[in-house]
Structure 1
Amino acid sequence: MSRSSVSEEVEKHELEKEASHSHVNEQGDDLEPSSSATRSMHDNDVEKDGATLTLVESKPSISNVKSVPNGGTKAWLQVCGAFFVFFNTWGILNSFGIYQTFYEADLLRTSSPSDISWIGSIEAFALLFAGLVTGPIYDKGYAHELLLVGSFLIVLGQMMIGLCHEYWQVFLAQGICLGIGMGCLFVSAVAILSTYFTTKLATATGLAAAGSSIGGMLYPIIFHKLQPHIGFPWTTRVLGFITLATLAVSNIVLRVRVIPATRRKFFDFPAWKEAPYVCFTLGTTIAFIGLYAPFYYIQLYCLQTKIMDANLAFYTLAVLNAASTFGRIIPNLIADHIGPLNVLLPCAFVCGILQYCLIVTRSTASVMVVIALYGFFSGTLVSLPGTIYVHLAGPKNRSLIGTRMGMGFAIAGFGVLIGTPVSGAILNATKFEYVWIFGGTALIIASVLLALTRLTQGQWKLWVKV
């Protein structure tokens, strides 16, 4: 090759290098280049007729596990931002029991318990099912827009509840508007955390998920203290201002570190050929059918059976969520060492047994002990599934985590959708005992499916980390 040809070739690659750097800057400082972009010059040098040409790879890589920080100020700020996302998504859902009791006694007293529980069920379903849409939007680089839209809808929906007088109005404001807003936030927060942590992912997710139980504890207390003094409309507005302030923190600190280099499909059909994925998705779906019965009905149970007076019965929901705070942190710390599925499986089984125990509770002490234990063990069913989807995907499918997580949560949403309304219908036709039998049985069946997940994923050996 002539000297002039070599010079032209080198100049061409220099121009390509400048264009590549320009592309990275347009993506934002938070995006990390792929592992091939950070290789040494020796690995990227190519000899061509005596001239050394440097090849540059600038696309961000989500599959480069070694580049994940697993700590540092910025990574833990993401945990803080995700904490307030959980605080205003699952935290609001966990506090629906206070609305269930208030609506039955006051605002929607002409509606049945089953009809009222549909509001909370639709809210939870929208949160989970929205992942099918918000996941691909996140992968296209619109995480910040999802956070803004979701925050706006949550604040708007919370404010509008105070203007409602009829069932359909509450259904639209609390069930639809709040639910869609939560769906915009939830998958984005979990997906962002998975790009900052690998070895500490369960711990980080557990700390973030503690926001749901703290929100589920604080929101009912605030509602209970304010509603008799300032009325229902202004109480919901105060809660709206709290969501506005706390979600502002999430919008400020949450930042995408890396996004997939290629556009993601809405569905990953090969995942449904993998036995662990299918068993786990079905297991979580059935678990969610029975999970929320105590969250929705424990306060009403204590009042109707006259185990407690109105003031003390209110605190059952607070105790349930307070215990759940520890259930989102401590088991997750253990999960990083022995595997998240190994923690979730026994916790789901214990939750089923504890719902059976509610059948024979006849005193304040027995109810408080059972619900405290239930709160602790049920915390894992919210904090660990996202981590398990990451583990099931494996290193080869890290770019498909969002897709698989979105599909799994969307299917699980149907469990939340039908669970508490069915419990309400059972309550209308029979007694509370059958509500607890229904919920407990669903959780035990779910634990069997989780055991099948473990068997197909990590073999049936006691000390295998899965």
Structure 2
Amino acid sequence: MENENTTVSHVLSNSGLQAWLQVAGSFFLFFNSWGIINTFGVFQTYYELTFGHTLSPSSISWIGSIQSFLLMFLGIIAGPLYDAGHFYMLIVAGTFLVVFGFMMTSLCSEYWQIMLAQALCIGIGTGCFNVPSIAILSQYFSTRRGLAIGLAASGSSFGGVVYPVLFRHFQPKIGFGWTTRILAVISLATCLFSLSVMRIRPAVRPRRPLVELAAFREIPYTLFCVAMFFGNIGFFGPLFYVQTYAIQTKIASENLSFYLLPLVNAASVPGRIVPGFLAGIVGPLNLLLSAATLTGVVALSWIGIHNTAGIVLFSLSYGFCTGGLVSLPATTLSSLTPDLTRLGTWIGMYSMICSIASLVGAPLSGALLGESQSYLGLQLFSGATMFLTGVLLLATRISKEGPKMRVKI
């Protein structure tokens, strides 16, 4: 154990071209993992307008839910593979599957075909990116790890802006097929950049099991996983349905409604970078608790929005508040993990637990929406789950450091 920790601490640094190139490489891995997941809202709206007479919103949302499920669930495999030194294998496999999935989606005309190409193929590809994009930064950063992860995680926000805007711009002009192929080319180019600059550092890598149940003896880790389980259940509802809400209630034009999701993701850029910068000062868990609570407030405020200015403000606020829910968990986990050589495995188990929530969250929101097209149940559901996340994160904090509220953690 002493040798392992010595090896890890020896390679940590907080500056230098090589270290910041890892941030740039991770930025584009986030761009092509969570960025793609955050983009599904435009596909949800497009599919509802195209297949709405045969498919319910809940049925369509399963495509995006399976994507997010696979992104996180495959952490249980990708984590130990990363710990064993198979970083490049994961990135190459993910690049192929994401690009291939986009290309196949461009040819789809049936629901089952979209399930195979967009949900399964792209979902598995993004799952190969998730753990490496986070864990590699722990090799290069110590005191500035929160800032590094925040900057890298902002890639998902940029992806969530670039991909929807391009889709909205090109789809009416050149059609769904060629638009999706353009997304595939962008994905390929950005993934190749990551492959060209990212370098994993040698370290002592003992063989790890896929599941390390002893981790759940650590009460803070267990509470943290349960908290983020509920956070992921409520997180995707507004992302998937804010556009259709604006269109169906006619509180915004169809053109503006399509840009609400890019607004959410644009606001999420500072929402991920600022908490990353403050994490070293305030503590990542403290910031994550605040982000979850504020997200619950914003989600419930959706109930009272009935005009264009309100829905735009809601989109910006939700994007900013949820930024920390993506960028801070990895930093928090690194502070809860007693041995950084196990970080990949611990992130993998955490991701597997949250993947189940990601799988059922959006379809549950769609089921609450139902045929009545009343959004009240969906709005209450999103707000309540986020408040519960905040309560459980508070319990995590107390179990780690006791009731002292001024402790940085």
Q: TM-score, normalised by structure 2?
A: 0.97
- Secondary structure of 2:250's partner? coil
Q: Quote the residue 2:325 is aligned against.
A: 381
d(CA) in 2 for partners of 1:390 and 1:190? Answer: 10
- Asked if 1:133 is matched to 2:77, the reply is yes
Q: Which residue of 2 aligns with 1:391?
A: 335
Counterparts of 1:77-226 in structure 2, within 5 Å, are: 77-107=21-51, 109-226=53-170
Deviation at 1:61, TM superposition (A): 5.7
Deviation at 1:260, TM superposition (A): 3.7
1:7 corresponds in structure 2 to none
The 8 Å contact of residues 61 and 261 in structure 1, kept in 2 or not, is answered as: no
Runs of 4+ in 1 over 6 A off after TM superposition: none
Say which is worse superposed, 448-457 or 258-267, in terms of deviation: 258-267
CA distance in 2, matches of 1:365, 1:374: 14
Query: Please, which of 400, 407, 427 is the counterpart of residue 342 of structure 2?
Result: 400
Q: Does 1:275 align with 2:224?
A: no
Output the CA distance in 1 between the equivalents of 2:294 and 2:85: 40
| Aligned 1:424-463 pairs, distance under 5 A | 424-430=366-372, 431-463=374-406
Instruction: Note the alpha carbon deviations across 1:385-444, whole angstroms, 9 max, x for none.
Output: 1111110013xx222111111001110111111000000011115411111101110110
| Aligned-partner SS, 2:259 | helix
Distance in 2 (CA, whole Å) between partners of 1:208 and 1:417 is 24
Deviates more, 1:73-82 or 1:132-141: 132-141
> 2: distance between equivalents of 1:288 and 1:261?
31
After superposing the two structures, state which structure 1 stretch, 260-269 or 333-342, moved more.
260-269
| Matched AA of 1:313 | S
Supply the distance in 1 between the matched residues of 2:8 and 2:43 (Cα, whole angstroms): 45
Q: CA–CA distance in 2 between the matches of 1:142 and 1:244?
A: 20
Mapping for residues 399-418 of structure 1, pairs under 5 Å: 399-418=341-360
Query: For residues 312-391 of structure 1, what are the structure 2 equivalents within 5 Å?
Result: 312-391=256-335
C-alpha distance in 1, partners of 2:322/2:270?
10
Q: What letter matches 2:347 in structure 1?
A: M
Secondary structure, counterpart of 1:384 in structure 2: helix
Retained in 2: the 8 A contact 1:103–1:109?
no
1:419 aligns with 2:375: no
Report the aligned-residue RMSD: 1.5
Is residue 2:9 matched to residue 1:65?
A: yes
| Cα separation, 1, equivalents of 2:273 and 2:303 | 28
* Kept after mapping to 2: 8 A contact 1:97/1:297: yes
Paired AA for residue 458 in structure 1:
E
Where 2:206 maps in the other structure, the secondary structure is coil
Q: How many Å separate the matches in 2 of 1:162 and 1:398?
A: 41
Question: How far 1:268 sits from its partner (Å)?
Answer: 1.6
CA distance in 2, matches of 1:234, 1:401: 40
The two structures have a TM-score, normalised by structure 1, of 0.85
Structure-1 separation of matches of 2:377 and 2:51: 27
The answer to whether the Cα contact below 8 Å between 1:214 and 1:325 also exists between their aligned partners in 2 is yes
* Partners of 1:61 and 1:258 within 8 A in 2: no
Give the drift of 1:138. Answer: 1.6
Change (3 A) 1:278 1:369: same
Q: Is the 8 A contact 1:195 1:258 kept in 2?
A: no
Give the Å deviation of 1:289: 0.3
Query: Secondary structure of 2:380's partner?
Result: helix
> What amino acid is the match of 1:366?
G
1:297 corresponds to 2:241: yes
1:223-234 aligned within 5 A: 223-234=167-178
Please tell me the residue identity of whatever aligns with 1:192.
I
Mapped pair 1:247 → 2:208: no
String of CA shifts for 1:359-382, please: whole Å, max 9, x gaps.
010111111112211100101111
Code of the aligned partner of 1:76: W
Residue number in structure 2 paired with 1:74: 18
Say if 1:283 and 1:446, in contact at 8 Å, map to a contact too. yes
Which structure is higher in RCO with an 8 Å CA cutoff and minimum separation 6? 2
Find the residue that maps to 1:292 and give its secondary structure: helix
Write the letter of the residue equivalent to 1:406.
G
Residues 98-138 of structure 1: per-residue CA shift (max 9 Å, x gap): 00000010156411100110000000010001011111112
Q: By how many angstroms is 1:305 displaced?
A: 0.7
Amino acid at match of 2:30: F
Distance 1:361 1:71, change over 3 A: same
